[in-house]
Amino acid sequence: MKEKPTNAKKNGGNNMSVKIYIDGQEGTTGLKILERFENRNDVEILRISEEKRKDSAERAKFINMSDYTFLCLPDVASREAVSFVKNDHVRIIDASTAHRINPDWAYGFPELSEAHREKIKNSKRVAVPGCYASGFASIVYPLVNNGIITNDFPVFAYATSGYSGAGKKAIAVYESDQKPQEFNSPRQYALSQQHKHLPEMQVISGLKYKPMFNPMVCDYFSGMVVSVPIQTRQLDKKVTIEKVHEMYSKHYENAKLVEVMPLMSEEEQKAFFLASNTLSGLNKMQVFVFGNDEQILLCSRLDNLGKGASGAAVQCLNIMMGIDETTGLV
């Protein structure tokens, strides 16, 4: 007997609920998206059977039955899934890197500008930002857009992240009793300057040249900080740390999930430690401005699984549905 799609959550008889399919629902991002629907009764989750979740024909059937499909897949599989769409009503939210710099797709970071938000709202194709790229763009896009740096400014960024974004195999090693000694330490990677987020970091932020990027994976589960240092002597016009902070505050003044943190005094900064896992399990982002008028350090803190992945995906869905963007998010 042919298995019928089933609901993850009953909708209490509400026939107006939208049908959601998650292609790749067994992965980290897919599972986190499912979690964010647990207490919602306005969506109906279509479930593919375990034995057929890699069957192309079955996946295509579920995609075309849905109102919205989340793609939580490798790039090649995401492109394949998009090719399955025959029903013009289906709207796709892709969590892979496959379509993030495709101009025909909306980039799923609504707080960057009103234009980004409107494109998400009206698009049938939305690409969810990468976690590192989210932190980077939250800092650099406003710098370029507000003329504090030019688009050819040499940008360097570094980041610390929990291991949850490293994939199932790496997670298993980190959580194993036989974890190698080196895994107790932060480990720098992508040293060839070819990290998969670099194209969107450059394009979305409006940079002429690719930034240098130094990410580190660390021995904690989730959360990250992306940092961008600025030597103000390299800027074309004089700025102060207060003016930079004021710019960010104005840029994000209406944002519900991005918060610009108060500017600290020199003494407060000396005593402060910026942890990377503070927002673990949450869907918001915090932007910090540290340093002084000569050397400014800009930091963005977020959960790589929240605002950096599944939380951003659900936020985009909410905007596309025309409801409060924070629905189902904490």
- Start-to-end CA distance of the chain, whole Å, equals 41
Question: DSSP character for 87?
Answer: -
Q: Are residues 146 and 168 in the same domain?
A: yes
Do 12 and 58 share a structural domain?
yes
Alpha-carbon distance 62 to 317, whole Å?
Answer: 18
Contacts of 150 (CB under 8 A, 6+ apart): 144, 236
Dist CA 297 CA 231 (whole Å): 9
What's the whole-model pTM score?
Answer: 0.93
Is residue 330 assigned to a domain? no
Q: Are 159 and 16 members of one domain?
A: no
The dihedral region occupied by 116, where left means phi > 0, alpha psi between -120 and 50, and beta the remainder, is alpha
pLDDT in tens, the chain (330 residues): 333 333 444 433 344 689 999 999 988 999 999 999 999 999 999 999 999 999 999 999 999 999 999 999 999 999 999 999 999 999 999 999 999 999 999 999 999 999 999 999 999 999 999 999 999 999 999 999 999 999 999 999 999 999 999 988 999 999 999 999 999 999 999 999 999 999 999 999 999 999 999 999 999 999 999 999 999 999 999 999 999 999 999 999 999 999 999 999 999 999 999 999 999 999 999 999 999 999 999 999 999 999 999 999 999 999 999 999 999 997
Query: What local confidence, expressed as pLDDT, does residue 188 receive?
Result: 98
pLDDT for res 5: 39
Active site residue 131: yes
**In a domain? residue 274:** yes
193 and 212 in a common domain: yes
What is the identity of the amino acid at 292? N
SS3 49: coil
Residue 328 lies in a domain: no
Alpha-carbon dihedral 63, 67, 70, 75, rounded to 10 degrees: 50
Q: How far is CA 97 from CA 72, 158, 211, 254, 317, in A?
A: 10, 20, 18, 28, 18
Asked if 114 and 137 sit in the same domain, the reply is no
172 and 30 within one domain: no
Residues 137 and 217 in one domain: yes
pLDDT of the residue at 11 = 37
pLDDT at site 16: 64
Q: Which residues contact 236 (CB under 8 A, 6 or more apart)?
A: 150
Instruction: Give which of 204, 200, 198 is closest to 113, Cα–Cα.
Output: 204
DSSP state of 296: E
Residue 121 lies in a domain: yes
Catalytic residue among 72, 131, 299, 316: 131
What is the rounded CA–CA span in Å between residue 35 and residue 282? 12
Shared domain for 22 and 111, answered yes or no, is: yes
Instruction: For residue 326, tell me if it sits in a domain.
Output: no
- Quote the CA–CA distance of 301 and 261 in Å, as a whole number: 10
What is the model's pLDDT at position 17?
87
Q: What is the pLDDT of residue 2?
A: 37
Q: What is the pLDDT of residue 161?
A: 98
**150 and 282: one domain?**
yes
Q: Is residue 140 part of a domain?
A: yes
Is 253 within the bounds of a domain? Answer: yes
Question: CA 244 to CA 293: how far, in whole Å?
Answer: 10
Which pLDDT does position 14 carry in this prediction?
43
Residues 158 and 124 in one domain: no
Domain total in the chain? 2
In a domain, 122, yes or no: yes
Query: Are the beta carbons of 175 and 182 closer than 8 angstroms?
Result: no
Instruction: Give the domain range for residue 21.
Output: 6-129+309-321
pLDDT of residue 7: 41
The Cα 38–Cα 41 span in angstroms is 9
Which sign does the torsion angle of CA 131, 259, 121, 305 carry? positive
Where does 28-113 have alpha helices with state H? 28-35, 56-65, 75-83
**Cα Dmax for the chain:** 72
